[in-house]
Structure 1
Amino acid sequence: MSAVVLLALGLGLMALGYFVYSKFIAEKIFRLDPDFKTPAHEFEDGVDFVPTNRYVLWGHHFTSVAGAAPIVGPAIAVIWGWLPAFLWVSIGTVVFAGVHDTGAVWASVRNKARSVGSLTGDVVGKRARSVFMIVIFLLLLMVNAVFAVVIAGLMMKFSSAVVPVWGAILVALIIGQLIYRRILSLAVVSVIGVVALYALIGIGPSVPVQMPEQVGALSGNAVWILILFGYAAIASLLPVWMLLQPRDYINGLQLFIGLIILYGALVMFNPALVAPMYNTNLPEGTPSMLPLLFVTIACGAISGFHGLVAGGTTSKQLNKETDARFVGYFGAVGEGMLALGAILAATAGFATYGEWSAMYDAFGKGGVNAFVEGGAYIISNGIGLPETTAATLLTVMAALFAGTTMDTGLRLQRYIFQEWGEIYNQQWMKKPAIATLLAVVSCLVLAFGAGADGSGGLIIWPLFGTTNQLLAGLTLLVVTVILVRLGRPMWYTLAPLIFLMVMTVLALFAQLKSFYEAENYFLLGLDIVVLVASILVAMECAAALKRVRQEKVDATS
């Protein structure tokens, strides 16, 4: 089958979702009000609460939620065949992720930009809030620790990407000043930023920066991880307009241009999908597709991390409530397009089935390497760009998005410590610098606790998918309860919630069995914790909905 046909089908479904389904959800279910005074205006402080142009805010939200996960998950899941991955990404983006992200932004904006974790205490109950906060903390630990490993690994392997990755920070700082101080129009600033980024990508191969394999007692990989956390700590304390917004906005534009290049090359090259539609020749040890497909591909279909960004940073910058549709739903569509690109690169980016099967000789293989190598093959054959340059382009794309997610993730982790300070009346934890220090230390303990190379976060990464989907279920639960209280239709959020919770619990049981057989008792214990949390969430979900519906019956009787 031609990869162009799959591309057209995927983009068509996502366009239908945004122009038709999201309009219905925004107007009839969430009833977004352009005259509602958003927290960005109510609590404007120039640091975290900043009314923001919707295009700039979309760039922040989209690149914060995208990261490396919508590349890694789909590029691993195609081991089961391209059709299951394609269907879950396409349907998940339209029916699950878009509604989840828009609903999370709306719920937070309507409640003074409080995080969904904090809202859970009021909407569902204190027990659910406790579970939510633990799950959030675990997820942020995983994201921050692992994305640092991903970026460090990319810079160690592709030395040509170092200058573009770090040069993008300087570009963002300059762009931030130009936008915030209204020195130039947004259109002009956008052109300048994109040109500067691609100039850096062009320069990268000419000035490779290679970190030594060993720096004193630390590996080169570990040194990069420490540098990344030092940068992320500073970035999390700066006003959002200074670095976070412009970095995310320019990266968002860069991604879309990168996708246009990849999609354009795909159309011109018109390769066949060498991977099977449904793989019946799975490598030994590959787990069952059901239910693990739905947790292997989280970002790109639906992801709980999106709810953290929506209620953590995005809701504090929303200029008008109606912007939630563009920022939230179209942000999910953008991530779905990235996941679709990852599927195409990982299934059509190989000359033969033999080359593809050599890449996917075991479960967990593929990922970023399949995306970069497969995408570079397509771009090189489609538009004639040298494979080295194409690989640098895709590597920088993956590293920049992992970096923006890490920036936002550490800021969100700082918010979690500050919220704990608020909940437990610990004034010292509410100070930004101390909360940031606690966030960094907790990540570094995980990263370096299992070895000097800083890759400790990879130990618990197998639980990312289930933990992430549990968090998405909790977010949908909060939004559903709010809708029921307002007397609005609930099935548009409840149906995805039920499906997600069933698949997550089944996946947890499947992982429980595999961890036990592998005698991995550490992950076995963590799996049990997440499984218990899932069951508690399901029970709280049923109890909260029953309680709210009974309250409405009593009020009308």
Structure 2
Amino acid sequence: MNAIFVLIAGLGAMALGYVFYSKFIAEKIYRLDANFRTPAHEFEDGVDFVPTNKFVLWGHHFTSVAGAAPIIGPAIAVIWGWVPAFLWVIFGTIFFAGVHDAGAIWASNRNKAKSIGALTGDVVGKRARSLFMIVIFLVLLMVNAVFAVVIAGLLVDFPSAVVPVWGAIFVALIIGQLIYRKYIGLIAVSFIGVLALYGLIGLGPLFPVELADSFMGMAQNTQWILILFLYAAIASLLPVWMLLQPRDYINGLQLFIGLILVYAAVLISGPEMVAPAFNSNVPEGTPSIIPLLFVTIACGAISGFHGLVAGGTTSKQLNKETDARFVGYFGAVGEGSLALAAIIAATAGFATVADWEAVYSAFGQGGVNAFVSGGASIISNGIGLELSLAETLLTVMAVLFAGTTMDTGLRLQRYIFQEWGNIYNINWMQKVLPSTLLAVGACLILAFGAGSGGSGGLLIWPLFGTTNQLLAGLTLLVITVILARLGRNVYFTLIPLVFLLIMTVMALLLQLRTFYAAGDWFLFGLDLVVLVAAIFIALECAATLSRLRTEGSGEKASGEKSADKKD
């Protein structure tokens, strides 16, 4: 099939989902109220709580949740054929991710911008909260440790990316000042930021940067990991308007330019989807498509990490409650669009089926490299951009997104330690600096544990997909309980969460058997912890829903003001 039809069908379906389905969810289910006083106004402090333009906030939310995951997952999952990957991305974006992301923002916003973990204690119970926090902590640990390893590896392999990657930070700092101190219009700032960013991409190949092969006994990878965590720690302490918001916003614009280039090249050159629509000849050792498809493609269809961002940083910056539809649901559409581009690049970016099969010779192959090489080939053939420049552009795009996710992830992990400090009355842990040091320390212990030389985070990466999707299902559980307490229709969140819980529990059981057979007791133990936590949280939530149904409750969720009452 020609990729043009896949592109038009995918974008058209997601556009219709945003125009019609998100409007229904926002007005009839969540009942977003423009007059509700958001926590960004109620607790405004100029650091974490900052009322923000919805376009800038969309940029923060979207780029924070995107990272490299919506590229990696779909570009791996096409090993089962491009049709299953395409269908899960489209239907997942419309009926799962958009509802999940907007709902997490709404629920947090209605409860003083509490995180989903803390909110669980209010709407379900303390035991469920404690278990939920363990799952959240593990997901953040995986994201922060692994993304540091991945970014470090890319900076070592592509020294031409160093200047644009780090230069983007200085561009963001300037953009933040221009917006909040000089009051320059957003359009002018956007133009300046994009020009500066692409100017840096052009300079990158002219001024490649490589660290010393060894410094104080540390290899290049190790040096970059330490530098990245030092940067992330400092970034997490800065006010969100100074770096986090402008960096994410400019990266969001950069992504759309990258997507426009890919999509325009597809429309011009009309490449064929050379990979099989349904691949019945998968390499030996490839796991079953069910349930693995639904955990391999996380970001791009639905991801629990989105709920952490939605209730961690996004809800603290929401200017109007009605902005949750644009920021949350449209943010999911943006992520789905990136996943769609990854599918096309990883299937139509090859000359022949044989070329594609050579890359996808085993499960787990493809990923970012398939996206970069395939996408660059499509861009080069479609609009005539030099292949090496197209590869640099897509590589920098992937690295910058991974970096923004790491920025937000470390800030969220700091929030987790602070919340534990509040829960258990540990005063010093509630402070910003100690909690930040704890977050960095936990990531470094994982990254450098067992003499791994910095790659230790990759040890628990096999569990990321299942743990992440489980977290999405549990977030939908909390949202469903809140809706039930308000006497609202719960089926639009209940159906997706049941599907997710079934798929992720199946995947966890499958992995448990795999780890046991391989004698990998570390991953076996972690898998068991996550599985037991999931079962107990699900039972707690089910008991709460059953009790509410019996009571015929219309009571409000803890700390929530009625959504029908004008504030």
Segment drifting more, 315-324 vs 505-514: 505-514
Equivalent residue for 2:268? 268
Equivalent runs, 1:17-28 vs 2, <5 Å: 17-28=17-28
Alpha-carbon distance in structure 1 between the residues aligned to 2:218 and 2:76: 30
Segment drifting more, 540-549 vs 30-39: 540-549
The question of 1:510 aligning with 2:518 is answered no
Specify the SS of the correspondent of 1:450: helix
What do you get for the CA RMSD once the two structures are aligned? 1.1
Equivalent runs, 1:10-409 vs 2, <5 Å: 10-409=10-409
- Per the alignment, do residues 266 and 212 of structure 1 end up closer, same or farther by CA in structure 2, a change over 3 Å counting? farther
Alpha-carbon distance in structure 2 between the residues aligned to 1:553 and 1:34: 26
Alpha-carbon distance in structure 2 between the residues aligned to 1:535 and 1:502: 11
Alpha-carbon distance in structure 2 between the residues aligned to 1:554 and 1:343: 44
* TM-score, scaled relative to structure 2: 0.97
| Aligned residues of 1:218 and 1:452 also touching (Cα < 8 A) | no
Q: How many residues align?
A: 555
Partner deviation per Cα, 1:228-277 (whole Å, 9 max, x = no partner): 00000000000000000000000000001110011111111111111111
Specify the SS of the correspondent of 1:320: coil
State the one-letter code of the partner of 1:95.
Answer: F
Partner deviation per Cα, 1:423-465 (whole Å, 9 max, x = no partner): 0001100110110000000000000003353111100000001
Q: In structure 1, list runs of 5 or more residues that go unmatched.
A: none
| Aligned residues of 2:106 and 2:321 also touching (Cα < 8 A) | yes
State the one-letter code of the partner of 1:307.
Answer: G
| Superposition deviation, residue 144 in structure 1 | 0.2
Partner deviation per Cα, 1:500-525 (whole Å, 9 max, x = no partner): 00000111111112112222121111
Alpha-carbon distance in structure 1 between the residues aligned to 2:554 and 2:397: 55
Specify the SS of the correspondent of 2:399: helix
Partner deviation per Cα, 1:389-420 (whole Å, 9 max, x = no partner): 10110011000000000000000000000000
Q: Deviation above 6 Å: which 4+ runs of structure 1?
A: none
Alpha-carbon distance in structure 2 between the residues aligned to 1:471 and 1:380: 39
State the one-letter code of the partner of 1:176.
Answer: G
Alpha-carbon distance in structure 1 between the residues aligned to 2:75 and 2:224: 25
Alpha-carbon distance in structure 2 between the residues aligned to 1:247 and 1:363: 34
| Superposition deviation, residue 280 in structure 1 | 1.0
Alpha-carbon distance in structure 2 between the residues aligned to 1:77 and 1:88: 10
Partner deviation per Cα, 1:314-346 (whole Å, 9 max, x = no partner): 000000000000000000100010111111111
| Superposition deviation, residue 215 in structure 1 | 3.2
| Aligned residues of 1:40 and 1:316 also touching (Cα < 8 A) | yes
| Aligned residues of 1:148 and 1:406 also touching (Cα < 8 A) | yes
| Aligned residues of 1:348 and 1:374 also touching (Cα < 8 A) | yes
Equivalent runs, 1:398-437 vs 2, <5 Å: 398-437=398-437
| Aligned residues of 1:213 and 1:221 also touching (Cα < 8 A) | no
* TM-score, scaled relative to structure 1: 0.98
| Aligned residues of 1:274 and 1:353 also touching (Cα < 8 A) | yes
| Aligned residues of 1:345 and 1:375 also touching (Cα < 8 A) | yes
| Aligned residues of 1:219 and 1:452 also touching (Cα < 8 A) | no
Specify the SS of the correspondent of 2:392: helix
State the one-letter code of the partner of 2:341.
Answer: G
Alpha-carbon distance in structure 2 between the residues aligned to 1:346 and 1:205: 25
State the one-letter code of the partner of 1:395.
Answer: T
Specify the SS of the correspondent of 2:117: helix
| Aligned residues of 1:65 and 1:306 also touching (Cα < 8 A) | yes
Equivalent residue for 1:4? 4
The question of 1:480 aligning with 2:480 is answered yes
| Superposition deviation, residue 554 in structure 1 | 10
Partner deviation per Cα, 1:480-513 (whole Å, 9 max, x = no partner): 0111111110000000010000000111111112
Equivalent residue for 2:558? none
| Superposition deviation, residue 553 in structure 1 | 5.8
Q: In structure 2, list runs of 5 or more residues that go unmatched.
A: 556-567
Q: Structure 1 vs Structure 2: percent identity of aligned residues?
A: 75
| Superposition deviation, residue 535 in structure 1 | 1.4
Alpha-carbon distance in structure 2 between the residues aligned to 1:357 and 1:182: 54
Specify the SS of the correspondent of 1:313: helix
Alpha-carbon distance in structure 2 between the residues aligned to 1:381 and 1:215: 42
State the one-letter code of the partner of 1:127.
Answer: R
Equivalent residue for 2:562? none
Specify the SS of the correspondent of 2:552: helix
Segment drifting more, 523-532 vs 420-429: 523-532
Alpha-carbon distance in structure 1 between the residues aligned to 2:84 and 2:451: 37
